[in-house]
Structure 1
């Protein structure tokens, strides 16, 4: 088996600030920065109310080819690459799986999920399915999935193929070590090199949103307050004097 690459993990502070931005604002801000496709489409929250951010560990599945991956789940367990991505997990990591959107094969079950939780993983984004969902729910692991299935991972037409390589997950290129931010809006991939700029721009946008939200609730014109029109900025600046920005 080819040696698995290690990822470079961003600082905990950077990850926390990405998480504070949230998936929707991160996606919108990255779009304005020229990254048009960062929302991992397909997987949705199966554990409502969870918000995570962390570096991506990646797992790639391919259509099964029997000469490369024979039958017999336990014939040689260490050849099962879906185990090896979990061996890499450190506290706060997010496992991101390209399972080709296939919901007939369960990438992980409750035993693997128990191990993932024990390693301190933050959550998983799977463009595909997991199994043993009744038991997995009890673990309360934050999950973004395309579906669930009773089948195990190679029972049907998939085989785990590579760990910590660039993958296409839900139509998005995910590089190992990218920051994944996910909440009830979905999962978004934030390129590490753009994270600081994204946070800065998203924060500037957010700073006037509280003011605009208040004005819109009062029935003020949408044209004036969302987005904040230049004519409304003096009013916003005056309001801000008695409502200082609170970051972090």
Structure 2
């Protein structure tokens, strides 16, 4: 037992989950063309109905990210196990610091923070380090601090707002990483795919990614076709969603587009 670390006296912290496999680069690349709304709708039709993370919104309008999920879990403080009484210096021995050392390029960090209004899960220094390690974005069902400096860093972040508090100042403590987390009412497993934009963040189960991609690519294509036809004056009921006749028209248009020389 580490007698210098008070967090080891009752329960060894930080907790780290089992090794996991990140989403493959080709899946991430193909999913970059799929919006959060499309991903959510397609997953719903596939029988996965709880995928939209409730609460967090984009810190900056126009933000977008697709990446493999890295997870961090906050838990309620209990003074005999772990608390913020030692101030910020205690945090560098927690899952918050530990998970940042595992960030790989393209990772999206998904954080369970229980929707807390009083926990500033990330600030300038931590987001700065996350960015330097190649992290792609952060989704946290809680708050951040140092908002002005964080915005300057340009890291896409979805959160419930801002606070002057540091991560363990009030009711929560960074507990575990590489574990299943509940973010905004949605289960996220390490290695799932995160799709987030102005509509919010969606968790795509790793095992559903390929099926989603195939279905959504067709969906995005026909929506582009329908959008064009509506702009040309077509009736909404004929082109959204596609009717059997307009589907045949779309497939002909798609085949013609494929024959056009690349620009």
Query: TM-score if structure 2 supplies the norm length?
Result: 0.88
What is the CA RMSD across the aligned residues, in angstroms? 1.9
CA drift at 1:234 = 3.3
In the alignment, which of 15, 26, 43 is matched to residue 39 of structure 2? 26
Alignment of 1:50-89 (within 5 A): 50-70=63-83, 71-74=85-88, 76-89=90-103
Match of 1:222 among 236, 239, 258: 236
CA spacing shift, 1:205–1:50, aligned 2, 3 Å: same
- In the TM superposition, what whole-angstrom CA distance separates every residue of 1:114-140 from its partner, at most 9, and x where no partner exists? 111111100100100111111111111
Between the aligned partners of 1:223 and 1:31, the Cα distance in structure 2 is: 22
Structure 2 vs 1, CA of residues 105 and 230 (structure 1 numbering), >3 Å: closer, same or farther?
same
Q: Are 1:27 and 1:188, in contact at CA under 8 Å, matched by a contact in 2?
A: yes
Query: Contact conserved, 1:106 with 1:152, CA < 8 A, in 2?
Result: yes
* Counterpart-to-counterpart distance in 2, 1:193 and 1:40: 19
Whole-angstrom CA distance in 2 between matches of 1:211 and 1:54: 27
Query: Aligned-pair distance for 1:107?
Result: 0.7
Partner of 1:95: 109
Alpha-carbon distance in 2 for matches of 1:144, 1:239: 37
- 2:141 corresponds to which residue? 127
- Name the residue aligned to 2:6: none
> What are the ranges of 5 or more consecutive residues in structure 2 without an aligned counterpart?
1-12
User: How far apart are the structure 2 equivalents of 1:228 and 1:190?
Assistant: 25
Which is strand-richer, 1 or 2?
1
The one of 126, 134, 144 equivalent to 1:112 is 126
Q: 1:5 aligns with which of 2, 18, 21?
A: 18
Are residue 141 (structure 1) and residue 166 (structure 2) matched?
Answer: no
Q: 5 Å matches for 1:190-229? A: 190-229=204-243
The range that moved more, 199-208 or 215-224, is 215-224
Secondary structure of the residue that 2:42 maps to in structure 1? helix
CA distance in 2, matches of 1:104, 1:3: 25
**Would you say the 8 A contact 2:119–2:144 is kept in 1?**
yes
Q: Distance in 2 between matches of 1:191 and 1:220?
A: 37
Q: Match of 2:169, SS?
A: coil
CA distance in 2, matches of 1:23, 1:152: 30
Alignment partner of 1:154 is 2:193: no
Deviation at 1:113, TM superposition (A): 1.0
Query: How far did 1:80 drift?
Result: 1.9
Q: Paired residue for 2:52, among 19, 23, 39?
A: 39
CA shift, 1:175, in A, is: 0.3
- The Cα shift of 1:23 comes to 1.1
* Alpha-carbon distance change, 231 to 51 in structure 1, aligned in 2, over 3 angstroms: same
